[in-house]
Amino acid sequence: MKTKMKKLFVSVVALLLIVGPGSSTLAAFAEAPYKTYTVDGYGDVAETQTAYLPYGTINKIGDELLKAPTDFTILSDGTMYILDSGNKRVLISDTEGNYYGEFGQEYLNGPRGMHVTEDRICYVADRDARTVWVFDEKGELIRSYGRPDEPLYGDTLDFLPLKVVANESGTVYVICEQNTNGIVQISPAEGGTFLGYFGTNATNANLWTIVWRSLLSDTARAKMVSNLPATPDNVAIDEKGLIYTVTRGEGEASLKRLNIAGGNMIEPDAYDEVPAAVAVGNHDNVYVLSQQGYIYEYNNDGELLFVFSGSDDGQQRMGLSIKAEAIQVAKDDKIYVLDSDKRQVLIFEPTEFTNHLHRALYLFSKGLYNESKEPLQEVLRMNNLFDYANMAMGKVLYKEGKYDEALRYAKLAKDFDGYSDAFWEIRNEWLKQNLALVFAGCILLYAVIKAVSVLDKKKNILDPVRKVVDGLRQKRFIKEMGYIFYFMRHPIDGCHGIRKEQRVSVLSANLLLGLGMACFIINKYFVGFLQKSVREGRYEIASDIGFILVILLVVVGCNYLMCTINDGEGKLKHIYCSFIYSFGPYFVIQPILFAFSHVITFNEVFFIQFGNLCMLVWIGVLLFISVREINNYTVKETVKIIGLTLFTILIVCLLGFIIYVLWSQVFDFIRSIFGEVVYKIGN
């Protein structure tokens, strides 16, 4: 026991020595203080296995403390360069924080960004010195680039470099503060030649601003906030020389992968509003770091694999950032994040789960489908809801000809293209096997019908049936309902029937409305997978019904109001009925489309679209004619009334909104009083 104590003592001392003064702290823990999410096929967010665990932190490089560091680079051999901006120097270390050296003190003034190439040429973007410094592997200054003299650069523009990258040939790409033209591209030829701007962001002018600006006078337009493209926030370069940029507030364009021509080749399906940095991984993956500390990992196509980590709200737990500045990925897939507020480098280590995924990702993107199956299975074994893996698995199985399985995975992943392809194959297979049978069935059916009609002609065997049908047709109620088919084909006469002949009643219109709503709901939730716009297993029936009723009420009401003050002859009842009956085509065409949606693939989707278009046009025409006929208007008057109705609807919506706001204030006031009374009584 005594020796044991000694051992413990020795080990504790040794540990103290390891973490003691003079070196950085590195410790492995294994419970993440954050959740990891992924995005599913609907764009919804789902929790998943912890993708990366906090591995450690580097607080000091040797004995050197960091002060407001803003950028860093990790080379493939594990050498780390940190731009220690507050101390105006570049520190060199390994990925455990051991001090290797430093340089740059005599030149750097207010550096903000840095890039080190694999041959250890270090580029520093120095905002306050208005210079990009270039140091060699010994830390000696070899070049510097100031403001380009070329007129193309822009006469009035300053040169305030914030971030920089360089490719193998030494061309530097500089992001400059206030420079909205794009990334400044400078070639090393002749001591620095300005090559032009690169990867300019688009301005986002929506319809409203365009209309608004066109209405304003020149002076007023000049006073408006100028609509300039956003300057990128950070930039990265991959082994192939492709440039990645991140820009805040640009939505899907917040992450870009630019080809040589400056065209974007990636579109993230989920993004952050305030990205701070971007890095390229080892498996055709991309990492984006947000200023708040969220880390996003995307695959080659911009599909989000993981988002994790986050901001430290004072809990002081490892793996959370306060102000994240830069991100780097080492060759062993560890992620390094530089935090200027915490003055440290956070290290994240991929879990076993993520390692499997990376392997699959790599093999899959290289087209080695069969080989990627095993890691994919491993991923799905650990999380069989992981969307990317389901999608990839579906594709792999499709390639193997296992279409049923492929279909299942594609459906799980909401991979519509994959589903469509697999379904096409399955349908094809089915048709091949059953075509003869189907034809035989058709012929048989035809023969039976023929035979029955012949027999009917001779011996009237269908008389009893006919009698029943006729009997039903005579029922007033059925008759009223059936009028919809007549109305569809003869809207002018149909309206006359509604107005003058009482061919329909409010009851029948209500019933049709109910039927229509049922039809709408069934179609919405049970339509074929490829046509479905709502997510599986999600039902909002009450709001659907409410939505339809409110719209109907507002449209009919507003239309009626406008008609009465514009000499319309229609009564409210007639307007209501004619509106409902105008939806006849919906009752006829929608069920056919619904049935059809279950057997089509994306190849035949045109039929559905065409069917929808026909239906909508038909309904539109019927509505137009109804308004005209019921009120006995001319075409011109009808157009006017429709315009007025739309305007009234707008006003009603505004009114509703104002009333809502006012009443919510009143309710809140009452609630406050109630709360206070309850409190006083309670005491």
Partner 1 sequence: MATKIKKILCVLFVMLLGFVAPFTHNIPVTQAAGEEEKKEAETGDTGVWNDWNETHRLTAENDKFRLYVNEASLALVIEDKKTGACMESSPSYNDGKNNKTWSAYLNSALVLTIIRGNDDTKQADLVKDQVNKKVTYTKDGFSADIYWPKYKFGMTLKVQLTEKGITAYVPDESITEDGDEYKIGTVCIYPCMGVSYLDDNEGYIFIPDGNGALIYLNDKEGRFNTGFTSMIYGEDVGFTESSASNLLWNRYQMITGANQIIAPVWGIAHTDDKMAYLAVVEEGAERASIEACPNGVTLDYNRAYAKFILRKLYTQPTSNNTSSGSFHMMEADRSHSDLKIQFFFLTGEEANYAGMANAYREYLLDAGILEIQGNMEYRTRVDFLGTEREDFIIGTKAVVMTTVDDIYEIYKDLQTAGVTDLFTVYKGWQKGGLWNVPITKYKADSKIGGTKKLTQLIQDAKVDGIEFYLYNDALRINPDEQNATFNVVKKVNKKRYEEYTYKDVYEKMIYLTPARSGSLLNKFADSYLKKGIDGVCVAGITDTMFSYSYGGNFYSRYDCADSYAKTLAELDGKMSLVLEQPSAYLWSDMDAFLDMPMYASDFIYEDENVPFLSMVLKGIVPVYSEYVNFEANKDEFFLKLVETGTYPSFYLTKESSADLIYTNSSDVYSSQYDVYKNEIIEYTEKLKEVNQAVAGAVITGHEIMNNDVRVVTYSNGVEIFLNYSTGEQTVDGVRVESMSYKVVSE
276-295 residues in contact with partner 1 (CB under 8 A) are 292, 294
Among 77, 158, 536, 567, binds partner 1 (CB under 8 A): 536
Instruction: State which residue, 51 or 243, has the beta carbon closest to partner 1.
Output: 51
Tokens linked to 535: 């997510």
**Closer Cβ to partner 1, 35 or 473, answer by number:** 35
Q: Is 318 in the site for partner 1 (CB under 8 A)?
A: yes
Position among 299, 351, 508, 597 found at the interface with partner 1 (CB under 8 A): 351
CB of 384 to partner 1, least distance (A): 5
Contacts of 2 (CB under 8 A, 6+ apart): none
Under the binding rule (CB under 8 A), the answer on residue 50 touching partner 1 is: yes
Give the whole-angstrom CA distance, residue 350 versus residue 327: 15
Looking at beta carbons only, is 294 or 362 nearer to partner 1? 294
**Subset of 355-394 contacting partner 1 (CB under 8 A):** 381-386
* Cα(353)–Cα(510) distance, integer angstroms: 57
Segment near partner 1 (CB under 8 A); pick from 57-65, 97-105, 281-289, 594-602:
57-65
Q: Tell me how far, at minimum, the Cβ of 673 lies from partner 1, in Å.
A: 8
Stretch that binds partner 1, among 147-155, 212-220, 422-430, 669-677 (CB under 8 A): 669-677
Long-range Cβ pairs for the range 488-493 (8 Å, 24+): 488/584, 488/585, 488/588, 488/618, 488/622, 491/582, 491/621, 491/622, 491/625, 491/626, 491/629, 492/625, 492/629
Please state, in angstroms and rounded to a whole number, the distance separating the CA atoms of residues 579 and 622: 8
**Least separation, in Å, of the C-beta of 440 and partner 1?**
39
Binding to partner 1 (CB under 8 A): which residues in 149-188? none
Residues 289, 268: Cα–Cα separation, whole Å: 14
Q: Which is nearer to partner 1, 141 or 382 (CB)?
A: 382
Q: Which is nearer to partner 1, 55 or 173 (CB)?
A: 55
Contact set for partner 1, span 539-558 (CB under 8 A): 539, 541
Is the Cβ of residue 377 or residue 564 nearer to partner 1 in the bound state? 377
Measured from the CB atom, the residue of 446 and 660 that comes closer to partner 1 is: 660
| Residue 311 in contact with partner 1, rule: CB under 8 A | yes
Q: Is 49 in the site for partner 1 (CB under 8 A)?
A: yes
Q: Tell me the closest approach of the beta carbon of residue 63 to partner 1, in angstroms.
A: 10
Q: Which of residues 4-23 bind partner 1 (CB under 8 A)?
A: 4-5, 7-9, 11-16, 18-21
How far is the C-alpha of 280 from the C-alpha of 297, rounded, in Å? 10
* Residue 538 touches partner 1, criterion: CB under 8 A: yes
Our CB check for partner 1 shows the closer of 208 and 679 to be: 679
Question: Which residues, listed in sequence order, are joined to residue 278 by a DSSP beta bridge?
Answer: 288
If we measure between CA atoms, which residue out of 142, 206, 195 comes closest to residue 172? 195
Report the DSSP beta bridge partners of residue 348.
54, 335
Site for partner 1 in 398-437 (CB under 8 A): 412
- Out of 23, 53, 321, 625, which residue is the one contacting partner 1 (CB under 8 A)? 53
**Around Cβ 483, how many Cβ atoms within 10 Å?**
22
Q: What is the DSSP string of 661-679?
A: HHHHHHHHHHHHHHHHHHH
Q: State which H helix or E strand residue 348 sits in.
A: strand 344-350
- Per-residue 3-state assignment (H helix, E strand, C coil) for 154-195: CCCCCCCEEEEEECCCCCEEEEECCCCCCEEEEECHHHCEEE
The rounded radius of gyration (Å) of the Cα atoms in the chain is 35
Shortest Cβ 672–partner 1 spacing (Å): 4
- Least distance in Å: CB of 303 to partner 1? 16
